[in-house]
A and B are shown apart, each in its own frame.
Chain A
Amino acid sequence: KNEVEQSPQNLTAQEGEFITINCSYSVGISALHWLQQHPGGGIVSLFMLSSGKKKHGRLIATINIQEKHSSLHITASHPRDSAVYICAPNTGNQFYFGTGTSLTVIP
């Protein structure tokens, strides 16, 4: 049983498109992280959410605690957004990771 389900697994978009990545989880959580892993392997934390919505530049993350669902949106996508995006909810002492969404943005 997977505690975290991400969709889609792979996504190819044209530059400028609006992108949505979804994350559903089955556990009661303290917080949920969205991570970005670039092709070179480095991992960057994009957002930490415990409720509502956060925005940083062209990135928006939302969470619905009742529905156990989070989304990551990228507006006006750019080739430099090409990366693997990972949803990572946790309960405070249990840490879960989605398998990631591989995004490729084509110029």
Chain B
Amino acid sequence: NAGVTQTPKFRILKIGQSMTLQCTQDMNHNYMYWYRQDPGMGLKLIYYSVGAGITDKGEVPNGYNVSRSTTEDFPLRLELAAPSQTSVYFCASSYPQTRGDGYTFGSGTRLTVV
């Protein structure tokens, strides 16, 4: 049981480049989330999805896009990378918030924009 798999683990981007962070879960969780964590700071929600075909903005969505075409996959797209997007990105999944044992997190993607 792989849980939540994020790729890549590390990436360096130049300003203006684009990339997609991949996230896959094999637990049949309805909910999936993307968070960023800046150095020494707490988690901030970028986007979340309550099921295939449904996505919603979180606290810090600007500069990012997501899609949820299947239950398993929730990729995060960065367009026109900026130094302010240097962060560690975590993908997570869960059942609806009133059942289950909580979140399962991926291992994170450390992104540096130079």
Contacts and interface: CB of A to CB of B under 8 A. Distances in A.
B47 to A, nearest CB: 11
A50 interface: yes
Q: Chain A, interface size: which category?
A: 20 to 34
Contact of A31 (B41, B92, B97): B97
Nearest to B33: A95
A86 interface: yes
Contact of A92 (B42, B44, B97, B104): B97
A48 B44 CA distance: 19
Given A86-B43, A97-B44, A45 B103 contact: yes
Interface stretch (A16-24, A35-43, A66-74): A35-43
A98 B56 contact: no
Nearest to B88: A41
B101 to A, nearest CB: 6
Q: Chain B, interface size: which category?
A: 20 to 34
B11 to A, nearest CB: 15
B98 A31 contact: yes
25 contacts: A30-B98, A33-B102, A33-B103, A35-B103, A42-B107, A42-B108, A43-B90, A43-B103, A43-B105, A44-B105, A45-B101, A45-B102, A45-B103, A45-B104, A45-B105, A48-B101, A48-B103, A88-B43, A90-B97, A92-B97, A92-B98, A95-B33, A97-B42, A97-B43, A100-B42
Given A42-B105, A92-B97, 15 more contacts: A30-B98, A35-B103, A41-B107, A42-B107, A43-B43, A43-B90, A43-B103, A43-B105, A44-B105, A45-B104, A46-B102, A90-B97, A92-B98, A97-B43, A100-B42
The 9 closest A-B pairs by CB, nearest first: A45-B102, A48-B102, A43-B105, A45-B103, A31-B97, A99-B42, A97-B43, A30-B97, A95-B45
